[in-house]
Structure 1
Amino acid sequence: MATPGPVHEALAELELVDHHCHGAVTADLAPDEFASLLTEGEAWPGVSPFDSPVGVAVRRHCAPLLDLPRHAPPADYVARRSALGWQDVNRRFLTAAGAAAFFVDTGYTAHPLTSPAELAAASGAVACEVVRLEQVAEAVAARGVEPDAYAAAFRTAAEEAVRRPGVVAVKSVAAYRTGFALDPTRPADAEVTEAARQWLAAGGRLADPVLIRHLLWTAVGLGLPLQLHTGFGDADLRLHLADPALLTDWLRLTSGTVPVLLLHCWPYHRQAAQLAAVFEQVYLDVGLALHHTGPARCRAVLEEALEVTPFRKMLYSSDAYGVAEFHHLGALCFRQGLADLLQDRVDADELSLRDALRIAAWTGRDNARRLYGPLVSAPARDPGGRPTRKV
């Protein structure tokens, strides 16, 4: 760990833009419910999620915000959380994240979660919406549509969704549904109609390769930044098919269109970095991996991701879901890990302090602000605490 210096001070004060996260639960959690939300897998008998890097990090870095000692035992932690109530717990962790804005994916609601407006009220920050396009497609199917009308109906529904107030981006979870080993070309109308006929007859979630290709090409035409889940996820994912390098041909075909944000990326963050280095429209983050590796290892993930990534191409996200601890822990890991590696480079005379402070501000806030536009009216501060223009 680097000796704390000016970069640590600057990142501690910087109001972040969390460009991809989810809501926090709106219910008090039983011990097993809380434990299950600490993991992308399951809470198996005899294997507690508290006995993992993220579980240890929660007890070390989140317990003090609940007025508990560091490393509080799991039973004490969960009991204190319940005693405070979910509203107070959410407020404490969301405000501790120190974010000026959260961009909230509203498309996954396996638990009752805060809406963007509720998250904004709890955090004192601005909360914008990220529209998940698979959910839009499935809503079109649920309403009923003829196969030859599906493509137009989906396009219309997606255009209506992105016109909602506060929407800043769209997202696809193609990595979960089919993986990225897809034909990169835009499917023909006849292909879409036939695929829609089969899907609408069978029902279920959207997982047809032709319709996923159609969804991705439709997303390009919407004009908003497109977020793509890549890499690390839950057991529903075939990890080798979530390697963003599989998107290379599609990225070549869509060059010059909309920004493509590769989310999470680990363990393919080096592949994502290469794509960001060679394709103008490609950006990345290492959200989710930050709090799952915890402060002990998040620097290594950030350092590997930044080996070749242009500094204007890396963004911050937490990908926090369910427990508000992850909104806070993601921000804490990002600040500490990035500050450590930048301060060490300053101390070794590999970076000037001025450059290090610019990289910190770009990555934590300004790259998102540049990509997503003049988002909101929350005040922002430069490293060092000087007020600057709106987020």
Structure 2
Amino acid sequence: MLTDGVPLTDQHCHGVVTGDLDRPGFERLLGEGARGSFDSAIGLAVRRWCAPALDLPAHVGPDVYLRHRAGLGGREVAARLLRATGVTRWFLDTGIGGGTGEFGELAGGAVHEIVRLEDVAEHVVAEVGAVSGVYDRIEAELRARAANAVGLKTIVAYRCGLDFPLHDHPPTSFAPERRLTDPHLLGWLVGLGARIGAELGLPLQFHTGFGDSDLRLHRSDPLLLTDFLRRTTGTGLSVLLLHCWPFHRHAAYLAHVFEHVHLDLGLTIPYVGQRAGAVLAEALELAPFRALCYSSDGYGLPELHYLGALLWRRGLGTLIDEWIVADALTAADAEQLVTALAHGNAERAYRAALDRTQHRFAG
């Protein structure tokens, strides 16, 4: 397959758990609910693909897999699986899952930070409260963190939905919650992130689509960002729509009509398992080939990072082979497309930030 061996840039992922995990602990990290399950497409994928990567026969039972995994130890498992992805550059959301240092030691390659807007704002509010000058403190802290990052991210979809109000100025007051949920404050915060992103050349990532039970799925449809995308057209900001399922066709449409919009499929790919190629085909129905990036959105289990890469390669490779057989594109076109989706599109979207942070490379 043309996708075999091509270097990947994982433009959105998280750190891993290296401690011991029993079956309930492992399965909690295997899904978005209170508990995932081996009895699922991703459970089958772990047994089929991760087992051989850890020197086990394919399709071993869950308990055999977990006993062998425990014998190897969490750090050894993480290092093996992360290094087997073929990822040469990682963009790590440090809002959950740990920092870049340990991850770089385990994964190799270049590791860069994605700063979460809500994490910064909540840290400041926890320190000083809802006092006069808190908004200036939030902006100062965000700018300080952004100086060494390659991108920004918002989880406003979780906090109030993607139909947040657009504000250039913060509200006059807000309740100093542990988790900020005030739509007007969050609308200002996202706008601040967009302005800083445009100024510094930092793409702004949005969680869209499925997530855990804290999310209201209908409020994470990226189509709700249409007014925001109109407003940020021509400002220099790049917008990255993450995960997207089941709205990946909606995200593809937005990338089709707004030149500054990119998307990925993230954790969708390992979660749908054998159906990865079908979801990729649906995203590429309308998304410009320049707009789709690779990411695993792996978190907690290095199996998710590994399956994200492996199933992406297999799914896209099979799709490209079908197109070549159908004479829909040439082999040369196919090679260019694979390179763009694997790393070229992300490298271009993040180029300004990468040029500033070369000293942050790890591995």
Above 0.5 in TM-score? yes
1:295-374 aligned within 5 A: 296-373=274-351, 374=354
> 1:14 is aligned with what amino acid?
V
Structure 1: segments with no counterpart, 5+ residues: 1-7, 379-391
Q: Tell me the distance in 1 between the aligned counterparts of 2:77 and 2:13.
A: 17
Report deviation, 1:117. 2.1
> 1:277 is aligned with what amino acid?
H
- With the length of structure 1 as denominator, give the TM-score of the two structures: 0.87
Partner deviation per Cα, 1:80-122 (whole Å, 9 max, x = no partner): 110000111001100111100111101024xxx4x32222221
Give the corresponding residue for 2:182.
208
1:175 lines up with 2:167 in the alignment: no
Q: Tell me the distance in 1 between the aligned counterparts of 2:333 and 2:190.
A: 36
1:16 lines up with 2:4 in the alignment: no
Give the corresponding residue for 2:117.
133
Q: Tell me the distance in 2 between the aligned counterparts of 1:146 and 1:241.
A: 27
> 2:325 is aligned with what amino acid?
D
Give the corresponding residue for 1:72.
60
Report deviation, 1:26. 2.4
Give the corresponding residue for 2:247.
268
8 A contact 1:231–1:239 mirrored in 2: yes
Q: Tell me the distance in 2 between the aligned counterparts of 1:338 and 1:153.
A: 45
Report deviation, 1:149. 1.5
Task: Give identity over the alignment, percent.
Answer: 44
Report deviation, 1:377. 6.8
8 A contact 2:124–2:137 mirrored in 1: yes
8 A contact 1:231–1:268 mirrored in 2: yes
Report deviation, 1:230. 0.1
1:1-391 aligned within 5 A: 8=1, 10-43=2-35, 49-109=37-97, 113=98, 115-164=99-148, 167-183=149-165, 185-189=166-170, 192-194=171-173, 196=174, 199-200=175-176, 203-223=177-197, 224-257=202-235, 258-294=237-273, 296-373=274-351, 374=354
8 A contact 2:269–2:296 mirrored in 1: yes
Q: Tell me the distance in 1 between the aligned counterparts of 2:101 and 2:330.
A: 40
Report deviation, 1:137. 0.3
The SS at the match of 1:129 is strand
Q: Tell me the distance in 2 between the aligned counterparts of 1:230 and 1:359.
A: 25
8 A contact 1:275–1:282 mirrored in 2: yes
Give the corresponding residue for 1:385.
none
Report deviation, 1:313. 0.4
Aligned residues: 351
Report deviation, 1:188. 3.6
Report deviation, 1:204. 2.1
Structure 2: segments with no counterpart, 5+ residues: none
Q: Tell me the distance in 1 between the aligned counterparts of 2:57 and 2:34.
A: 27
Q: Tell me the distance in 2 between the aligned counterparts of 1:270 and 1:204.
A: 35
User: Please, which moves more after superposition, 259-268 or 339-348?
Assistant: 339-348
8 A contact 2:128–2:134 mirrored in 1: no
> 1:141 is aligned with what amino acid?
V
Q: Tell me the distance in 1 between the aligned counterparts of 2:196 and 2:225.
A: 19
Partner deviation per Cα, 1:341-386 (whole Å, 9 max, x = no partner): 11111111111111111110000101111111145779xxxxxxxx
Q: Tell me the distance in 1 between the aligned counterparts of 2:257 and 2:118.
A: 28
Report deviation, 1:125. 1.1
Q: Tell me the distance in 2 between the aligned counterparts of 1:132 and 1:126.
A: 19
The SS at the match of 1:13 is coil
> 1:180 is aligned with what amino acid?
L
Report deviation, 1:256. 1.6
CA RMSD of aligned residues (A): 1.5
The SS at the match of 1:262 is strand
